[in-house]
């Protein structure tokens, strides 16, 4: 027993030593740069679609979190991040259009997850119908930019693409409006009731989207809306000036990539500032203890409504972008599974933690869109070669299983998420403090404290 402990102690001290060396002086700069260079070179030199490149893309996105965590100067982090996301990724995207699409989706879901994180993580309101607001934004632009609008307002012609920019703002406002409208009746409810009611509301929006093709054809029912308008490519001369000779599809891919990147950056900024404001502290108070928060004079319903509206407004804007990106929307896109998927991103990363939520979004999106289908196709190749793999085993078909296991396992073993917020980690582990688990955790902060003065 004691020998085991000693050995474990040696391991931790070795790990601590390693961290200390890697985190002191110029080492983190060199290591991060080396990692960045190797991954970028791998990406740019071998842009074929395959399992190997998949792995490198995952490493590339994890690099963002290495940069975020590395004990280096802020200016260095920002420069490196900008170069990687602003130059390397787009160039790779031109070479291989498949991956930039996945990365754009990951960015979009990261933005959505950050919005849900405001509701679930900051204010502690479990919203299972989050995708309803996403649907509202998507249908808003979908209806106004297609002949669908002529059915509702006779004589009105579809808006052209340049209105897209205005609709980003309108999507924000309409999302917030829906958040308030749906939130007003239900926010007085206790947590678990709220979860079920929001789930019901999400279903209502989906049922309405399916059935509002009669008596007036608003949503075109189950067929969905196709040929949704796209914003004009005002950057086209810029691409030409850079000597890029790429198709319109690829131009749009890059365009949406940068758009999503920009929106994501804005979202992070807004969410971060909100969390550290008076409002953010009020949300924390509500989440931790409603009764105490009321006693301290926090306007409960107003603050909950605000959280709901902020989350919903992000979803509304992302919905507008989503419909323009996909150019096709239909009701099944906005089902419960999508809401749960976004929720599992927040939970995997860590409720209330901004970098955690983004990490969760990247992991879940990559798993969902890229790795599972890839593993499935690799397995079927192996199968054809005669390796005994049962034919029913198709990982791409089991998203529900993936999300479900993710939720259960995270709740049982690490409810605070991968990159937890400090307060929540303390809250969820206050019971095990006298237990041995606490001993294992204690050396970690001590080790972390050492390199801090150097940075």
Residues that bind another protein (CB under 8 A): 124, 126, 128, 185-186, 188-193, 195-197, 199-201, 203-204, 207-208, 210-211, 214-215, 291, 336-337, 340, 343, 347, 390, 392, 398, 400-401, 403-409, 411-412, 415, 427-428, 431
Whichever of 389 and 408 has its CB closer to another protein, that residue is: 408
Structure tokens that stand for 202 in this block: 């999400």
In angstroms, what is the minimal distance from the CB of 192 to another protein? 5
In angstroms, what is the minimal distance from the CB of 214 to another protein? 5
CA distances from 262 to 68, 108, 245 (A): 18, 11, 24
In angstroms, what is the minimal distance from the CB of 61 to another protein? 25
In angstroms, what is the minimal distance from the CB of 327 to another protein? 27
Whichever of 282 and 406 has its CB closer to another protein, that residue is: 406
In angstroms, what is the minimal distance from the CB of 400 to another protein? 4
Whichever of 71 and 183 has its CB closer to another protein, that residue is: 183
- In three-state secondary structure terms, 405 is helix
Q: Give, as one character, the DSSP assignment of residue 247.
A: -
Under a CB-based contact definition with an 8 Å cutoff, are residues 116 and 131 in contact?
A: no
Alpha helices, DSSP H only, in 23-73? 27-45, 51-69
In angstroms, what is the minimal distance from the CB of 404 to another protein? 3
CA distance 216 to 143: 13
In angstroms, what is the minimal distance from the CB of 351 to another protein? 9
Whichever of 150 and 397 has its CB closer to another protein, that residue is: 397
Whichever of 130 and 164 has its CB closer to another protein, that residue is: 130
In angstroms, what is the minimal distance from the CB of 226 to another protein? 22
Residue where the block lists tokens 């031109």: 94
Whichever of 63 and 285 has its CB closer to another protein, that residue is: 285
CA distance 109 to 364: 9
Whichever of 215 and 386 has its CB closer to another protein, that residue is: 215
CA distance 316 to 178: 9
- The contacts of residue 52 (CB under 8 Å, 6+ apart) are 46
Whichever of 38 and 222 has its CB closer to another protein, that residue is: 222
Whichever of 190 and 385 has its CB closer to another protein, that residue is: 190
Quickly count: other Cβ atoms within 10 Å of residue 290's Cβ: 16
Quickly count: other Cβ atoms within 10 Å of residue 389's Cβ: 11
- The contacts of residue 62 (CB under 8 Å, 6+ apart) are none
CA distance 265 to 260: 8
Under a CB-based contact definition with an 8 Å cutoff, are residues 199 and 333 in contact?
A: no
In angstroms, what is the minimal distance from the CB of 189 to another protein? 6
In angstroms, what is the minimal distance from the CB of 153 to another protein? 20
Give the DSSP H/E element, type plus range, for residue 94: helix 89-95
| Cross-strand partners of 225 | 329
| Cross-strand partners of 328 | 226
Under a CB-based contact definition with an 8 Å cutoff, are residues 168 and 96 in contact?
A: no
The burial class, CB within 10 Å (0-12 / 13-18 / 19+), for 252 is middle
Whichever of 201 and 228 has its CB closer to another protein, that residue is: 201
Under a CB-based contact definition with an 8 Å cutoff, are residues 378 and 51 in contact?
A: yes
In angstroms, what is the minimal distance from the CB of 241 to another protein? 49
Give buried/exposed letters for 94-106 (b at 16+ CB in 10 A, else e): bebbbbbbbbbbb
Whichever of 22 and 189 has its CB closer to another protein, that residue is: 189
Whichever of 279 and 346 has its CB closer to another protein, that residue is: 346
Phi, psi (rounded to 5 degrees) for 226: -115, 170
In angstroms, what is the minimal distance from the CB of 199 to another protein? 7
């Amino acid at each position: 027993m004691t020998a085991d402990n000693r050995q474990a102690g040696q391991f931790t001290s070795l790990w601590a030593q390693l961290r200390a060396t890697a985190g002191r002086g110029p080492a983190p700069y060199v290591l991060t740069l080396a990692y960045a260079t190797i991954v970028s070179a791998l990406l740019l030199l071998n842009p074929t679609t395959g399992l190997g490149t998949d792995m490198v893309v995952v490493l590339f996105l994890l690099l963002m979190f290495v940069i975020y965590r590395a004990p280096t100067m802020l200016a260095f982090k920002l420069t490196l991040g900008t170069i990687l996301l602003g130059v390397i990724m787009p160039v790779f995207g031109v070479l291989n259009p498949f991956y930039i699409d996945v990365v754009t989706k990951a960015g979009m879901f990261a933005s959505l997850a950050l919005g849900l994180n405001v509701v679930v993580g900051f204010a502690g309101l479990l919203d299972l119908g989050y995708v309803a607001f996403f649907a509202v934004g998507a249908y808003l632009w979908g209806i106004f930019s297609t002949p669908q609008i002529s059915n509702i307002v006779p004589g009105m012609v579809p808006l052209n693409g340049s209105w897209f920019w205005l609709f980003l703002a309108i999507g924000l406002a309409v999302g917030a409006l829906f958040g308030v409208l749906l939130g007003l009746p239900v926010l007085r409810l206790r947590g678990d009731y709220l979860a079920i009611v929001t789930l019901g509301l999400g279903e209502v929006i989906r049922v309405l989207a399916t059935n509002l093709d009669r008596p007036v054809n608003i949503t075109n029912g189950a067929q969905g809306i196709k040929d949704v308008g796209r914003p004009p490519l005002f950057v086209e001369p810029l691409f030409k000036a850079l000597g890029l000779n790429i198709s319109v599809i690829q131009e749009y891919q890059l365009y949406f990539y940068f758009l999503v990147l920009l929106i994501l950056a804005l979202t992070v900024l807004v969410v971060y500032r909100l969390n550290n404001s008076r409002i953010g502290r009020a949300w924390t108070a509500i989440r931790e203890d409603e009764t105490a928060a009321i006693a301290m004079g926090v306007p409960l319903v107003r603050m909950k409504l605000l959280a709901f509206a902020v989350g919903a407004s992000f979803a509304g804007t992302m919905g507008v972008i989503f419909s323009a990106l996909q150019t096709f929307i239909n009701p099944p896109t906005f089902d419960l599974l999508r809401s749960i998927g976004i929720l599992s991103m927040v939970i995997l990363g860590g409720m209330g933690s901004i970098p955690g939520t983004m990490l969760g979004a990247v992991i879940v999106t990559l798993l969902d869109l890229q790795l599972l289908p890839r593993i499935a196709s690799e397995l079927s190749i192996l199968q054809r070669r005669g390796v005994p793999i049962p034919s029913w085993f198709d990982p791409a078909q089991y998203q529900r299983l993936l999300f479900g296991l993710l939720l259960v396992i995270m709740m049982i073993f690490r409810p605070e998420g991968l990159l937890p917020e400090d307060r929540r980690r303390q809250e969820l582990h206050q019971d095990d403090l006298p237990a041995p688990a606490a001993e294992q955790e204690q050396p970690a902060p001590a080790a972390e404290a050492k390199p801090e003065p150097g940075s």
